[in-house]
Amino acid sequence: MIQVHISEQVANLCSNLHLFVIECDVNNTASDEMLWKEIDKETEYVRATMKLDEISHWNPIHANRLAYKALGKDPNRYRPSAEALRRRILRELPLYKIDTLVDIINLVSIRSGYSIGGFDVNKISGKNLTLGVGQDGEVYHGIGRGILNISGLPVYRDEIGGIGTPTSDEERTKIDMDTNRLLMIINGYSGLEGLNEAGTFAIELLKRYVKAENLNAKVYDAANKVEEILLSC
């Protein structure tokens, strides 16, 4: 399993950070009709229960925005992906249909408020990721965004360079139809409250829609303490 390490800089400035990390074999497919019924139901709930000006105050999103500010990034210019998804829903804009894995990640993010990284394990260089802070001039190709200025953003790096931020993952390790081993990282800058529920929901969806097998899950805290999640078959 890919191991994750939280750098001292991030740990000091984001002491309440917890990560729910899932790795599993998957069978990705084109967008699933039954999954989209769940997504449509969730978007209806969001529209019925939240207003646009309330999104940034919701605890998981608010905490992510505070982390951006602490690390040196303006969250109004570089929004966490969970915030961007909810804003899109409340502006009555359609969500993108990508593939089942990406759609699952988006559903979990919409429901939980956590920004989530999704990576093709076979495209990650090495067996370790470190969560650090983006530097000036660091080259990073955000998925569908071109060159992204990640200076001041929390960024996961493998042996080659950055692969994920809460705003956008990197083209190099993105999920596609050939992805058969998934790494999902749920970024809980607001702490543990709600994180295990989000992770459990993600695992249920992965089993239901992409036949997830050989599944491992761990929770990391800012001090790099790791809790292995016991999973039922």
The pLDDT tens digits for 187-233 are 999 999 999 999 999 999 999 999 999 999 999 999 999 988 877 54
State the architecture of 3-228 in CATH terms: 3-Layer(bba) Sandwich (3.50)
> For residue 30, which of 178, 132, 156 has the smallest C-alpha distance?
178
CA distance 6 to 41: 35
Measure the CA–CA gap between 75 and 61, rounded to whole angstroms: 10
Q: Could you state, in order of their start, the residue ranges of all structural domains in the chain?
A: 3-228
Mean pLDDT of 147-166: 98
Helix, strand counts (H, E) of the chain:
6, 11
Half-sphere exposure of 30 (CA within 13 A, CB side): 1
Question: From residue 147, how far is each of 30, 121, 137, 171 by CA, in Å?
Answer: 27, 22, 10, 10
Q: SS3 for 113? A: coil
pTM of the model: 0.97
User: Which tens digits make up the pLDDT trace of 64-94?
Assistant: 999 999 999 999 999 999 999 999 999 999 9
For residue 107, give every residue at least 6 positions away whose Cβ sits within 8 Å of its Cβ, in sequence order, or none: 35, 38, 39, 42, 205
